[in-house]
Amino acid sequence: MGMPTDQELKEALAEAGRMREQGEDPHHVAKALLNLNYRVKSLEKVLEAAELFYRSGQSVTEHQRLRKAIADAHAAIERSGAIEPGCFGLE
């Protein structure tokens, strides 16, 4: 299975939003897509921060950015109702 193009993902998210707004999501596929997209965006920021941290020689500033990205990802995932607070064990 390949990744959707940016345009395909944009269309799928728009359709998922429409389905949720109109109550046309009997199998919760639209809800799952929207939720996972929200969580992936947060985790992509963690990946970017981690890569920058390691490329920068593990500087204090980049370490702080990485910690913030991780905290933001935790918050986003908790807001989505996916985990209990403190389940990752990263801190």
- Contact (Cβ atoms closer than 8 angstroms) between residue 43 and residue 26: no
pLDDT at residue 91 in the model: 46
pLDDT at residue 76 in the model: 83
pLDDT at residue 79 in the model: 81
Residue 89 pLDDT greater than 70, yes or no? no
- Contact (Cβ atoms closer than 8 angstroms) between residue 39 and residue 80: yes
pLDDT category at 15 given cuts 50, 70, 90 is very high
Residue 25 pLDDT greater than 90, yes or no? yes
pLDDT at residue 58 in the model: 78
